């Protein structure tokens, strides 16, 4: 898609959300600051990676920075469909293997990118449809994942399958037109071919809680509840001059579904805020225990696909920019350790329950549940009455034996029995009839009665 479209970013408050660290999660010390991005990220068990291009590996400045700073690599183009299967059934891995071998030589993780994407399809696939295309897609996934079997840390199995804007729906493409189950079919094929690789869904414009990220969230929740093999969600994070205030909360709500999250293609338009935005993204990942690493989409500004925007951490000559220093400092300031020691694994899904909004107050709340044996995720919709709301509080009662384990887009007081949730800074103000959502994950069973809502 054209870059212009990608850059219609919401200019929301850029204050980083407060960092809540669960008592059981270790926080790394800051005594010994590491001096490279990779080593600094490794202090909390994370990686710091770069997208790299096979054609640049002969550039000594480029490879010097690469070898020094990064402990993960992603092929910028070399493992895409047009590169790996230029004509049907003929697979070419020369450049993909160059990236892989560069990663291996550095002792780095290699992220595979991307098995299925509606862009950079080879010409022969672009003109296919129906069963023939579905078979070709699955063969492609199987062949490429098999070629790289055991070597890839995480695969972007499906890239950019959701539409922009308010629909929260799938994007139209010839892939989508083979049937709505194409994504889960691809994940199953990838798991069968390379059981060791983490399998990710990857997309952009998902940098906060919005219709698109919620559509993806619902898909991941559905996949987890039905046992479709998905391990991670990639947030590309091609950012403009702002970052949504709920960037971290959005990562957290995905993590709370039981998947890892990764920042996969970070770059930020140069401007007054570039260094701060880079630091905010870094701190958000460090605060989410299942955020396993960050990848920037290129090394020097001159390597970037965003020509003229200077969105990376090194200038054209390979010098460290202010954004580099802010990322390094944020990494060295520490964070929760990763990966999270415990993760939910929904096994026996129950149909989602829903209660209707409570009428009469200045706001009302309704809950929908996604439950499994031993746990649940509750999504609570808060609706303002006929007057605007300047802050809200939702109270609900949990059955005995149940407890809140994490909350997003609200803060809770109490974790058992009667629990109260208060808005956070960015979602307290609602227009008359306006709606916002927050959620929490818990052990045991979810609330059964309609929550009470009171408005400020
Ligand atoms: C971009 C590459 O950086 C360019 O070199 C190429 O011409 C187009 O693709 N989302 C993705 C990446 O998932 O694969 C894209 O990479 C950038 C947007």
pLDDT tens, position by position, 43-57: 999 999 999 999 999
Among the listed residues 43, 425, 130, 448, the one whose alpha carbon sits nearest the alpha carbon of residue 438: 425
What pLDDT, on a 0 to 100 scale, did the predictor assign at position 272?
Answer: 72
Tell me: pLDDT of 10 over 60.
no
C-alpha span between 51 and 73 (Å, rounded): 6
- Tell me the mean pLDDT in the region 128-134: 96
- Tell me the mean pLDDT in the region 358-370: 76
Quick check: helix, strand or coil at residue 28? Answer: coil
CA–centroid distance, residue 169 to ligand 1 (Å): 22
Q: Are 280 and 311 in contact (CB under 8 A)?
A: no
Tell me: pLDDT of 12 over 50.
no
Tell me: pLDDT of 9 over 90.
no
CA–centroid distance, residue 271 to ligand 1 (Å): 22
Q: Which atom of ligand 1 is found nearest the CA of 80?
A: 14
Tell me: pLDDT of 118 over 90.
yes
Percent with pLDDT over 90 in the chain: 74
Q: Are 297 and 309 in contact (CB under 8 A)?
A: no
What pLDDT, on a 0 to 100 scale, did the predictor assign at position 348?
Answer: 37
Confirm whether 160 is a catalytic residue: no
439 compared with 178, residue with greater pLDDT: 178
Q: Are 327 and 37 in contact (CB under 8 A)?
A: yes
13 compared with 78, residue with greater pLDDT: 78
CA–centroid distance, residue 37 to ligand 1 (Å): 23
pLDDT category, 115, cuts 50, 70, 90?
A: very high
If one counts every other C-beta atom within 10 angstroms of the C-beta of residue 368, the result is 16
If one counts every other C-beta atom within 10 angstroms of the C-beta of residue 356, the result is 9
pLDDT category, 361, cuts 50, 70, 90?
A: low
What pLDDT, on a 0 to 100 scale, did the predictor assign at position 95?
Answer: 98
If one counts every other C-beta atom within 10 angstroms of the C-beta of residue 131, the result is 10
- Determine if ligand 1 sits within 6 Å of the CB of residue 77: yes
Choose which residue among 6, 53, 160, 265 to substitute to test ligand 1 binding: the one with the highest number of ligand atoms within 8 A of its C-beta: 265
What pLDDT, on a 0 to 100 scale, did the predictor assign at position 141?
Answer: 98
- Tell me the mean pLDDT in the region 65-89: 98
Choose which residue among 6, 303, 305, 307 to substitute to test ligand 1 binding: the one with the highest number of ligand atoms within 8 A of its C-beta: 305
pLDDT category, 343, cuts 50, 70, 90?
A: very low
pLDDT category, 245, cuts 50, 70, 90?
A: very high
Q: Among the listed ranges 108-122, 156-170, 253-267, 324-338, which one has the minimum average pLDDT value?
A: 324-338
The protein residue with its alpha carbon nearest to ligand 1, atom 12, reads: 76
Q: Which atom of ligand 1 is found nearest the CA of 298?
A: 3
Q: Among the listed ranges 297-301, 341-345, 368-372, which one has the minimum average pLDDT value?
A: 341-345
- Determine if ligand 1 sits within 6 Å of the CB of residue 76: yes
Tell me: pLDDT of 413 over 90.
yes
Tell me: pLDDT of 328 over 90.
yes
pLDDT category, 82, cuts 50, 70, 90?
A: very high
Tell me: pLDDT of 3 over 80.
no
Tell me: pLDDT of 99 over 80.
yes
- Tell me the mean pLDDT in the region 3-13: 37
CA–centroid distance, residue 44 to ligand 1 (Å): 29
Choose which residue among 5, 49, 77 to substitute to test ligand 1 binding: the one with the highest number of ligand atoms within 8 A of its C-beta: 77
pLDDT category, 436, cuts 50, 70, 90?
A: confident
Catalytic residue among 85, 121, 160, 265: 265
Among the listed residues 355, 422, 358, the one whose alpha carbon sits nearest the alpha carbon of residue 390: 422
pLDDT in tens, 296-325: 999 999 999 999 999 999 999 999 999 999
C-alpha span between 370 and 378 (Å, rounded): 6
342 compared with 408, residue with greater pLDDT: 408
Tell me: pLDDT of 407 over 90.
no
């Amino acid at each position: 898609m054209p870059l212009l479209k990608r850059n219609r970013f919401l200019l929301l408050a850029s204050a980083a959300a407060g960092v809540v660290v669960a008592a059981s999660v270790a926080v790394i010390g800051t005594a010994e600051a590491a001096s490279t991005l990779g080593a600094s990220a490794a202090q909390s068990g994370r990686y710091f990676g770069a997208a790299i291009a096979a054609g640049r590996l002969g550039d000594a400045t480029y490879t010097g920075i690469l070898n020094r700073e990064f402990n993960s690599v992603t092929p910028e183009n070399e493992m895409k469909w047009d590169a790996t299967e230029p004509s049907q059934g003929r697979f070419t891995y020369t450049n993909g293997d160059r990236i892989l071998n560069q990663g291996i030589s550095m002792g780095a993780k290699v992220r595979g990118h991307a098995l299925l994407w509606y862009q950079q399809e080879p010409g022969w696939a672009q003109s296919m449809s129906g069963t023939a295309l579905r078979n070709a897609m699955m063969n492609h996934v199987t062949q490429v994942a098999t070629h790289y079997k055991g070597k890839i840390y995480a695969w972007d199995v499906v890239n950019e399958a959701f539409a922009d804007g308010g629909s929260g729906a799938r994007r139209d493409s010839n892939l989508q037109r083979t049937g709505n189950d194409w994504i889960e079919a691809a994940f199953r094929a990838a798991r069968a071919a390379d059981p060791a690789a983490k399998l990710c869904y990857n997309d952009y414009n998902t940098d906060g809680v919005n219709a698109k990220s919620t559509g993806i969230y619902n898909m991941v929740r559905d996949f987890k509840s039905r046992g479709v093999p998905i391990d991670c969600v990639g947030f590309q994070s091609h950012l403009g001059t702002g970052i949504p205030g709920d960037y971290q909360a959005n990562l957290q709500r995905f993590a709370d579904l039981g998947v890892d999250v990764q920042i996969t293609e970070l770059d930020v338009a140069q401007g007054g805020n570039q260094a701060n935005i880079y630091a905010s993204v870094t701190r958000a990942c460090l605060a989410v225990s299942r955020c396993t690493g960050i990848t920037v989409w290129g090394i020097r500004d001159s390597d970037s696909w965003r020509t003229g925007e200077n969105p990376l951490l090194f200038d054209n000559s390979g010098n460290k920019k202010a954004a580099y220093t802010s990322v390094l400092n944020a990494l060295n300031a520490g964070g929760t350790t990763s990966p999270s020691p415990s993760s939910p694994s929904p096994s026996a899904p129950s149909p989602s329950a829903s209660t209707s909004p409570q009428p009469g107050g200045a706001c009302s709340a309704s809950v929908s549940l996604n439950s499994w044996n031993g746990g649940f995720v509750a999504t609570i919709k808060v609706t303002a009455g006929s007057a605007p709301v300047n802050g809200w509080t939702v109270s609900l009662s949990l059955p005995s034996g149940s407890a809140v384990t994490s909350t997003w887009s609200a803060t809770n007081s109490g974790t058992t029995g009667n629990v109260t949730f208060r808005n956070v800074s960015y979602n307290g103000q609602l227009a008359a009839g306006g709606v916002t959502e927050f959620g929490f994950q818990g052990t045991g069973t979810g609330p059964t009665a309609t929550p009470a809502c009171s408005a400020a």
